[in-house]
Structure 1
Amino acid sequence: MEVFEEPKDLEKSGSGYVQEECVIPCPFDCKLSDWSSWGSCSSSCGIGVRIRSKWLKEKPYSGGRPCPKLDLKNQVHEAVPCYSECNQYSWVVEHWSPCKINNELRSPRCGRGTQSRRIRCVSTADSEGGGVDRSLCNQDDAPPETQACSLLCPSECVMSEWGTWSRCPQSCDPHAMQRRSRHLLRPSLNSRTCGEDSQVRPCLLNENCFQFQYNLTEWSTCQLSENASCGQGVRTRLLSCVRSDGKPVGMDHCDQRNLEKPQRMSIPCLVECVVNCQLSGWTTWTQCSQTCGQGGRMSRTRFITMPTQGEGRQCPTELIQQKPCPVVPCYSWVLGNWSACKLEGGDCGEGVQVRSFSCVVHNGSISHTAVRVEDALCGEVPFQEGTLKQLCSVPCPGDCHITPWSEWSQCELTCIDGRSLETTGRQSRSRTFIIQSFENQDSCPQQVLETRPCTGGKCYHYAWKVSLWNNNERTVWCQRSDGLNVTGGCSPQARPTAIRQCIPACRKPFSYCTQGGVCGCEKGYTEIMRSSGFLDYCMKVPGSEDKKADVKNLPGKNRPVNSKIHDIFKGWPLQPLDPDGRVKIWVYGVSGGSFLIMIFLVFTSYLVCKKPKPHQSTPRHQKPLTLAYDGDLDM
């Protein structure tokens, strides 16, 4: 709630108000660039992501719509899943070269050697088979470019190439076996036996046997049409086939095994359109809360006609404004005190009391002293005869005079630690007898006390309350949970401090002692701290006085007062003055060190220039001193 305070240094206009110009800065929203085009898919086989981005153009200020979360480069990114077929690129191999025997001198030309071939990565969509970058093909499936070979000598056994391994069961049972075989082409001419013609190996998971399953991505962000910024869109997810060792493979591997596919791959979604908060105009000012006197308030309100939607500008919190009313004098009738009881024809018994009334003017506050004025200013007299006169009595000697009953107290319960020990409470009231004569004190009863049961009583808890700080002092009091201020009930150990002190004291200009016990700066100034953590000085914040000023002119506005002294030291590598014109600490250190050096030089000069005293020789004929011990231990 915004409150308009009345300035005290300007003259009032005819309406009773002080008027001065003010500026409320308009909010400026965060501005981002348009989305960039989508990048290529990060994976050439299986599921990857495509990314687009936009960057910050202008930051928000004065309550404008904030920016989304940005990265270190002031950019925001959006990623969507993408899928690339694994068989888009494949390896193409050429024929093996002739086997090159390692030992060229051996005759005949037979034995072990090596052979090579050329491999290329090609696009399956290219009918001409042109080569592409080898990184586009799966490097794990790259065929070997060299292999060992052998040229059999005429006398050696010749076997055919090994056949393909038999298929493992889909469950990859390690007890199941794979087999392959080869057959004899030419027997050996000597006694050597030929090699084995069959081999077996167990079916091991992720080694020579694999399982396959579908992999489903998370839902993407809501994708709109090309030129839309809000409204209906679609969220999608992608399906791929993954081998049991985590390697993405073509979809045909999963399709051949008739695995269950998910049904829904896209769902509709909605992106809320950006709608800024819309407010109604201010209503007219209400009537003053008081018909006269000071302290009255007038208020006006505005309402939210359109709430914020999406990332629109938020509604302000100030929907109510208040201002003080013009002070109008209060005229009222005031009754005087009752006179003494007037009796007719006696010293005790029944009599009459009277009181008078007068017209006064005041400002409506309790502390203000009312001043009597003419009765015509108060208008018609509202009092009746019974208000100005009443019966009274003066007790005769020996009578016992009783006071009226007091008000019933509040319903009280017996409680321990906030818990009631009973369901029915008690109320009490009392009246007292006034003894007119000391001799009749035995005949008059004592104080009369009445109690009655009550319901609705409750246990109270107590809390410390504090006022606002005023010159580092505040008022501290204890308040009961029903709002009654009391003198007991709160814990003395938890009593808040009423006086705050900062050590060292805050003597810098525009500084004050904060609630945390450290020195801070007033509004409009920022703290400049020393390396020790204490306040060095308060520097004025640029633009705190004139918010309409251009930012480029702020350094000129905040130039120190003693700028002429700064001009003297302009160009020095070490500046002896702070921006506010005060001498820096190291200057004091240098001055103190120079003073000590001067004292040392003066003292050294004194010792060097001082004349030595003449040497006093011992007299030639001096009688020696003889001591005698008389047995006294105190010698």
Structure 2
Amino acid sequence: MKAQWPAWQPLNVRAAPSAEFSVDRTRHLMSFLTMLGPSPDWNVGLSAEDLCTKECGWVQKVVQDLIPWDAGTDSGVSYESPNKPSVPQEKIRPLTSLDHPQSPFYDPEGGAITPVARVMVERIARKGEQCNIVPDNVDDIVADIAQEEKEEDDTPETCIYSNWSPWSACSSATCEKGKRMRQRMLKAQLDLSVPCPHTQDFEPCMGPGCSDEDASTCMMSEWITWSPCSVSCGAGTRSRERYVKQFPDDGSICTLPTEETENCVVNEECSPSSCLVTEWGEWDVCSATCGLGMKRRERMVKMPPADGSICGAEVLEVEKCMMPECHTIPCLLTPWCDWSDCSVTCGKGLRTRQRILKSPVELGECTEELEQVEKCMLPECPIDCVMTEWSEWSECNKSCGKGHTIRTRMVMLEPQFGGDPCPEAIQRKKCKIRKCNRGQGNSDEKKRRKEQREKRRSKQGRAEGNSEHPGCRMRPWSSWTECTKICGGGIQERLMTVKQKIKTAQLSSCKDRKEIRACNVHPC
């Protein structure tokens, strides 16, 4: 397998870092972690990415977009924040979004974070073994690894390592002495009382062209297991592969073969009583999730014997399978399902997503979270117009005959975000006090005009409204108040109060008066 890790440099600066690694039947899960410097606890990576397919082959290519994760050890909100340990340490979680405006992942609308990196894993060589074949016990695992890593004779059998990585480039680019390094990973320590050797190895080196060794030598991997024979009966062929572990230092091309083929024979005595069968199918899932179980595989008869006899070939195989010890089984979870719809149809709400525990509960406690909740934002909710209650009806605008009276109400809250508009703010209805005496209307009007002229001529205002208010002297009408609205229909009012009351006046004929009128009735 070849993996290309995330690159944080701008495009066209340099290629993304990459590495090559091999997988086999006991090591088919890939994990890695990359720090988002200079943050002390932000990172991206993958955990236990299974490179097996459901058909028990190997995946050809994996492309995965990555979002940042927070390890919960530092409480800073940006790259410039001072290092301040989180006490107590917070839970490891994905950074779907942050509310703080200084965060590099801040989204004022609370949307999902965009990926910050991408990892690509591509298969570069084929291996003959299947990925779900599990050895019967730990001794078989140790034996397999010991066979692959023959050069590590001094390694205790209780220490299980990965293969050594290829040698790094020499630290010296000239013929001065430098050093190069290779690494391996400690995968399991079966006996804690026995120390395991180092995981890094160094050796002296010189720059390209300075070594006594042939700089054009290719470093090849060991041959991978032979493939099954191409036929199930008679003569066929099989093949095996290997790959280039390290190209020549001088940049030349490797000419060594990476594949070889040989003849093979299956059931040499193919006769009329022989039957033709298919290749074995995939092994079924082990019957146990931990400990010892059984698995089976089948094949089919493609062509029965030519002589009509019964096919004697086996069409069913059953063998033991060993899963991890029950008390050490890992917490197996399904991938996260899609986010639910927002809990509201407008404004701010919440959404959730879940995943399911696949491993049986009785095999070990799982503390991983099974549900996540995050904020979601939809367009603002519409707000309808809010009005006050109607005012009392005003007095009739005529003292006799037909007139009208009005009532008004005011806007308390204007409509927003598409809410219902405001209804009418003023209403008018007819009113009739009493019939006017014939000729009385013209006489009253002339009298009123005469009084107004006298009022304007009077310096002291001694005759204000005496004819309309017998038995008392009234102060002049006050100025109209300001309109309650600048548009859409408001109201104004003015007052006339009693200045002096004559003793013989009736109570009902001498009192304060108030007038109301509509104003600013043009639409907004």
TM-score range, shorter chain: under 0.3
Give the TM-score taking structure 1 as reference length: 0.16
Give the TM-score taking structure 2 as reference length: 0.18
User: Looking at CA atoms only, which structure, 1 or 2, has the larger radius of gyration?
Assistant: 1
